[in-house]
Amino acid sequence: LQVLVPEEEEGNSDGDGENAPLEEGEVPLPGIEPEVEEPPPVVVCDTPVILTRPMTVYLKLNNNSIESLAGFSESLTSVMVKHTERLQILDLSFNCLTRVDADILEYPNLQALYLHGNCIEKLSTFVKLRKLPKLRSLTANGNPVESRGKVYRLYLVGALTRSGGESEYRLKALDHSAVTEEEAAIAQGWYAGHLHRAELMKEEMQLLREQQGMS
C-alpha cells in the first residue's frame, strides 16, 4: 500500500502565537503546560500506487585494453546485479577486441553498441548481432574491416537488416551516420546476393576437392 503523509500547515490555527510550540532552549512559564505537537495523520490508500521511471543503463568500458569479451556477462552481472537486463548502450570503443563474442548476446535490450577503434578484421564476426532485435546503432569504424571500402558498409547494413515476419528490424545508424530505408533495402539485397555467391563458391570448392580425391 502507498502511504501518504500530508504536509504540515504553516503557522497556528488561531494566529495569536499563545499556543505556539516552544523553541529549542526556551523555558515554559509557570502554570502553562508546553504544547506537544501531535504527529500528522497517516492516510492509507486502498489501492497501491506504483511509480515507474524508465532507466537507460549506459556502460562505458572504452580505452581499457580489453582483448576479449569471453566471460564478460558473468563479470558484469557481479557488479550490476539488478541492471544488466536494462543495459541499452554499451561503449567498448578503443580497446583491443579482435572479434564480436557471443557474450554480447546476453543483453537483448541493447540498442547501441560502440566498437570503433578496435582490431576486428572479419566482417562475418558482426553477423551474430542479428540476434539483438533492438540494436539500432553500431560503430565499427577504425577497425581493419573498414579497409574493405564500400563492401564494409553494404555488408554491415545488409547483415543487420531483416524484413518480414515478427522479427523485422533494421540498423538505423552505422558509425553515427543515418541508414535510410533505401540504403537498407539496397544493402539487404546485396547481402542476400553475397550469401548466395558464397554458397556457390563453397559448393564449387567441395566439388573440386572431391574430384582431386578421385584422381
pLDDT of residue 176: 96
Kindly state the average pLDDT of the residues 176-204: 88
Kindly state the average pLDDT of the residues 128-153: 95
pLDDT for residue 83 is more than 60:
yes
What is the rounded CA–CA span in Å between residue 152 and residue 140? 9
Percent of the chain past pLDDT 70, that is, above it, reads 69
Kindly state the average pLDDT of the residues 128-134: 92
Question: Where do the domains of the chain lie, and which CATH numbers do they carry?
Answer: 57-204 (3.80.10.10)
Q: Please, which pLDDT band fits residue 34 given cuts at 50, 70 and 90?
A: very low
What is the rounded CA–CA span in Å between residue 215 and residue 206? 15
Kindly state the average pLDDT of the residues 127-140: 94
pLDDT for residue 151 is more than 90:
yes
Q: Which residues contact 59 (CB under 8 A, 6 or more apart)?
A: 76, 80, 87, 89, 90, 91
- Here the cell at position 31 is 502554570
Q: pLDDT of 43-77, one tens digit each?
A: 444 443 333 345 668 889 999 999 999 888 888 87
pLDDT for residue 203 is more than 60:
yes
pLDDT of residue 7: 47
29 compared with 139, residue with greater pLDDT: 139
For the chain, report the end-to-end CA distance as a whole number of angstroms. Answer: 82
pLDDT of residue 183: 94
Give SS3 for 113: strand
